[in-house]
Amino acid sequence: MVDHADALVFFGATGDLAYKKIFPSLHSMIRHGRLNMPVIGVAKQGWNLEQFKARAKASLDEHGGADPEALKKLFSLLKYVDGDYKSPETFQELRRTLDGAKHPMHYLAIPPSMFATVGEGLAKSQCNQGARIVVEKPFGRSLASARELNATLREYFPEDAIFRIDHYLGKEPVQSLLYSRFANAVLEPLWNRNYVASVQITMAETMGVQGRGRFYEEAGAIRDVLQNHIMQLIACLAMEPPAGEGEPLRDERAKALTLVRTLTPADVVRGQFAGYLEEKGVAKDSTVETFAAVRLWIDSWRWADVPFYVRVGKCLPVSCTEIIVDFKKPPQRVFREANIGRPNHIRFRVSPEVVLAMGVRVKKIGEALEGTSVELIAQRHPHDEMEPYERLLLDAAAGKADFFAREDQVEEAWRVVDPILGNPTPVEVYAPGTWGPKQAQDLLQQGCTWHDPRDEPDDPDA
């Protein structure tokens, strides 16, 4: 039986992540009756508790508004420790403020370069005893630095006390994808190279870098989303059936990633939207990609020779994350119809709405043996009911690690992208509002095109 956390400590409490994600999640947990432990913010800002509370309120006002009762409760739980992370006094003060809590959960909403300092401070003050730690991406910048970072965390916490957040794993449709895969026997016979022709993942955003030029210069699309969110999606799609919930889920995701072939520059097309170089914090000669398309292969019995095509990018025509599993064509052409349409597919839309649908051909009502493509919608919901951060913080507090990234998964994902980091291929400029460089088409097998999430299937009654 895993112990439930009895205090939530978050470092970087006056920062951006806390403002945008953590306060709104805490508010939502309270509204759902799920938060009953002290919440201790730690930062070096020279603030007092009243200022900290004002920050919490401002965050809620900006993110959907505060419910007066929930705000009152949040205020009653909030505590604040101000101090330098390098100073032992900060941690002694934290220890006092923890007031005997036996299983604190420390959330490091701080740059990874600070992890070692905070880890050491927690260990020296014994605030790491019986505790767990929650960390955010980036989990390193390359395979080597990810290993270093993991080693740093492991100095102060055992692996089963480390919760690495990849918020994609906390999204409803991603969990729903896993659920549908392993709660339906009919999918299993189809879910392999015998029936699947290819898999496509699009993670498109209309926004640019939104003033985060300096951050983006350090990241680029491959580090920012492909190494983490997309690789987790691939693991969920490609994994073998786990023996059950819990650690077997993580084992199978990790195993799936070990079978993904390491990318080479020939498998990638990188793009940069026109205007990126004028963004604040961006070098005038930057070759950082804001778009990447890749072709991945999984060398397993199940997936050999099935291409997984991925494209991610900023300033694209639509904001949508979607997975399309395309099935093979029927082996014989029986009907004389001119347009044999698109073969069957399964669509998992991850955002903005939740959709699980299967594309099939049906005969059009009428005399001719002619058909049209329709989608059977298994699930359609306008949005996620629960924010991924809320779901993941509740899981971490309960010690449930199913939807957190494990050290070996993170390192495997870096191993896959390592050779395409930096500037391995020329970065092609694309116009904002388009689907990136036209060279992305060359990654696809003949006869294949990138799916546009805006294309709705035909209406069978039309």
Question: How far is Cα 411 from Cα 408, in angstroms, rounded to an integer?
Answer: 5
**Which segments within 314-433 are labelled E, that is strand?**
320-327, 345-351, 354-363, 371-381, 427-430
Q: Which is nearer to ligand BG6, 225 or 405 (CB)?
A: 225
DSSP 283: -
Least distance to ligand BG6, CB of residue 216, Å: 8
Residue tagged 């913010």 (tokens):
41
Asked whether position 387 contacts ligand BG6 by CB under 6 A, the answer is no
Asked whether position 351 contacts ligand BG6 by CB under 6 A, the answer is yes
Q: Which is nearer to ligand BG6, 20 or 57 (CB)?
A: 20
Residue 43 token pair: 């930062």
Q: What angle do CA 48, 52, 55 make, to 5 degrees?
A: 145
Question: How far is Cα 182 from Cα 321, in angstroms, rounded to an integer?
Answer: 22
Asked whether position 384 contacts ligand BG6 by CB under 6 A, the answer is no
Instruction: Spell out the residues 6+ positions from residue 319 whose beta carbon is closer than 8 angstroms to its own.
Output: 204, 205, 206, 207, 351, 352
Residue tagged 């050491």 (tokens):
120
Least distance to ligand BG6, CB of residue 320, Å: 9
Pairing of β 39-43 and β 7-11: parallel
Give the residues across from 361 on adjacent strands. Answer: 373
Instruction: Spell out the residues 6+ positions from residue 388 whose beta carbon is closer than 8 angstroms to its own.
Output: 167, 168, 169, 170, 171
Question: How far is Cα 23 from Cα 224, in angstroms, rounded to an integer?
Answer: 23
Question: How far is Cα 134 from Cα 392, in angstroms, rounded to an integer?
Answer: 10
Q: Which is nearer to ligand BG6, 100 or 382 (CB)?
A: 382
x-or-dash string of contact with ligand BG6, 188-227, rule CB under 6 A: -----------------x------------------xx--
Question: How far is Cα 419 from Cα 144, in angstroms, rounded to an integer?
Answer: 12
Largest CA distance in the chain: 83
Least distance to ligand BG6, CB of residue 392, Å: 12
Q: Which is nearer to ligand BG6, 224 or 395 (CB)?
A: 224
Least distance to ligand BG6, CB of residue 53, Å: 28
Residue nearest to ligand BG6 (CB): 224
**Which segments within 63-110 are labelled E, that is strand?**
78-82, 104-108
Least distance to ligand BG6, CB of residue 385, Å: 15
The binder of ligand BG6 chosen from 321, 344, 373, 409 (CB under 6 A): 321
Question: How far is Cα 313 from Cα 206, in angstroms, rounded to an integer?
Answer: 8
Least distance to ligand BG6, CB of residue 236, Å: 15
DSSP 298: B
Q: Which is nearer to ligand BG6, 120 or 390 (CB)?
A: 390
| Ordered strands of the 196-204 beta sheet | 371-381, 354-363, 345-351, 320-327, 196-204, 308-313, 291-296, 268-273, 427-430
Burial environment of residue 421 by CB neighbours within 10 A (0 to 12, 13 to 18, 19 or more): middle
Q: Which is nearer to ligand BG6, 168 or 327 (CB)?
A: 168
Asked about 229 being catalytic, the answer comes back as: yes
Least distance to ligand BG6, CB of residue 271, Å: 15
Least distance to ligand BG6, CB of residue 224, Å: 5
Q: Which is nearer to ligand BG6, 205 or 252 (CB)?
A: 205
Q: Which is nearer to ligand BG6, 224 or 412 (CB)?
A: 224
Residue 333 token pair: 């052409």
Count the site residues for ligand BG6 by CB under 6 A.
5
Q: Which of 229, 345, 381, 451 is catalytic?
A: 229
List active site positions: 229
The contact set with ligand BG6 (CB under 6 A) reads 205, 224-225, 321, 351
